Amino acid sequence: GKCLLREAHVVRYEFIRENVGTFSIRPLCRVMQVSTSAYYAWCQKPPVSGPDDTEVRVRLRALFAASRQSAGSRTLLSQLREEGIEISRYRVMKLMKEEGLECLQRRAYKVTTKPRPGAEVAPNLLNQNFNPPGPDQVWTSDITYLKTGEGWMYLASIMDLYSRRIVGWYADKRMTSDLVCRALMKAYNLRNPPNGLVVHTDRGSQYTGKRFQTLLKSYGMRSSMGDVGACWDNAAMERFWGSLKHEWLLYAPHPTRAGMKQDVADYIRYYNLDRGHTSNGGISPVRYEQLSFRKVSGFA
């Protein structure tokens, strides 16, 4: 509310002050939609003591390196504020530019799952509603492929759509029903959810198969399915795959499957505990759960 509005004005004032040597004040105020009197009044205020630039630069470089050069200004801003450093996004962007902290570019990936002809398909209970009102009401799952020096590896993950937290995952060299079942078992053991939870997947044979569907029923869960290849039906998981590969795996060598599995575990821990998410107002999935429902479980 008022805090966000006040911060937005401060960002505009800082921008004007930074560019006043290039442009005159009146046009800058007009473009930034603030009055010249308000800007002058802000300039007359005694400066609020903030963090030293050196301290912020050190933390920016450390947080950026910890993200494998993937964190943008929003994520870094959220992490700095979690550490108690009060700073505006404009200043974060400015310092990132001065430090040469530039995010790596994202690449596209193809669909991995295939439907099984004649398989019984569950209805789409989600219908692109990706924001349930509480945790452990809607989970979503998907499979992606990972390339190593020893050959392909497949990763199945389970995400709680409330906080975007990864609550279960499993990686193996074969893409079978065992892959998705083990991921679901890990999620169930971690969260112990109530009956009626919806698990949304695509129509891949691993999910339509008898073993996975039987496991769902034994846990009191309901199956929901979108179309194979329709990424908008499972957009949250698609974004997670993009983050995992673009932010973490793409620029590091993985000669062995064991090394890849450990790297995936490291990223999921970083993602759950530290990486800010726009759906959560810029804070991490675990932190979002702690603040909203005080629900704290083990780390997947």
User: For residue 245, what is the domain's CATH number?
Assistant: 3.30.420.10
Instruction: Assess whether 95 and 145 both reside in one domain.
Output: no
Last residue in a domain, options 45, 73, 99:
99
Give a yes or no: residue 201 inside a domain: yes
Give a yes or no: residue 55 inside a domain: yes
Chain-centroid distance, C-alpha 111: 20
pLDDT at residue 239 tops 80: yes
Whole-structure pTM over 0.95, yes or no? no
Give a yes or no: residue 128 inside a domain: no
pLDDT at residue 260 tops 80: yes
275 versus 18: the higher-pLDDT residue is 275
Give a yes or no: residue 297 inside a domain: no
User: Residue 114: its pLDDT value, please?
Assistant: 57
pLDDT digit string (tens) for 129-174?
A: 778 889 999 999 999 999 999 999 999 999 999 999 999 999 999 9
What's the average model confidence in pLDDT over 226-249? 78
117 versus 170: the higher-pLDDT residue is 170
What's the average model confidence in pLDDT over 201-229? 90
Instruction: Assess whether 206 and 274 both reside in one domain.
Output: yes
210 versus 251: the higher-pLDDT residue is 210
User: Residue 34: its pLDDT value, please?
Assistant: 84
Instruction: Assess whether 233 and 155 both reside in one domain.
Output: yes
Q: What is the mean pLDDT of the chain?
A: 82
What is the tally of structural domains in the chain? 2
- In the numeric block, the tokens 């919806």 are attached to 198
Window from 2-11, 19-28, 35-44 with minimum mean pLDDT: 2-11
Instruction: Assess whether 175 and 253 both reside in one domain.
Output: yes
What's the Cα-to-Cα distance from 297 to each of 34, 191, 268, 286, rounded to whole Å? 46, 7, 15, 9
Contact 190, 289 (CB under 8 A): no
Window from 80-94, 97-111, 198-212, 277-291 with minimum mean pLDDT: 97-111
Residue type, 254: H
What's the average model confidence in pLDDT over 251-279? 92
- In the numeric block, the tokens 């700073």 are attached to 87
Give a yes or no: residue 115 inside a domain: no
pLDDT at residue 110 tops 60: no
Provide the pairing of β-strand 151-160 with 165-172.
Answer: antiparallel
Instruction: Assess whether 243 and 159 both reside in one domain.
Output: yes
User: Residue 80: its pLDDT value, please?
Assistant: 79
Contact 25, 32 (CB under 8 A): no
- In the numeric block, the tokens 């960002």 are attached to 11
Instruction: Assess whether 212 and 88 both reside in one domain.
Output: no
Name, in order, each residue with C-beta under 8 angstroms of 173's C-beta and a sequence gap of 6 or more. Answer: 150, 151, 152, 153, 154, 257
- In the numeric block, the tokens 């494998």 are attached to 68
Instruction: Assess whether 87 and 146 both reside in one domain.
Output: no
The burial class, CB within 10 Å (0-12 / 13-18 / 19+), for 7 is: middle
73 versus 214: the higher-pLDDT residue is 214
Last residue in a domain, options 52, 71, 99:
99
User: Residue 194: its pLDDT value, please?
Assistant: 95
Q: What's the sign of the alpha-carbon dihedral 121, 240, 106, 113?
A: negative
User: Residue 294: its pLDDT value, please?
Assistant: 56
Reported confidence tier of residue 128, pLDDT bands at 50, 70, 90: low
Report the run of H or E that residue 263 belongs to, with start and end: helix 257-273
What is the residue range of 170's domain? 138-292
Window from 61-65, 135-139, 164-168, 269-273 with minimum mean pLDDT: 61-65
Instruction: Assess whether 283 and 153 both reside in one domain.
Output: yes
Instruction: Assess whether 270 and 147 both reside in one domain.
Output: yes
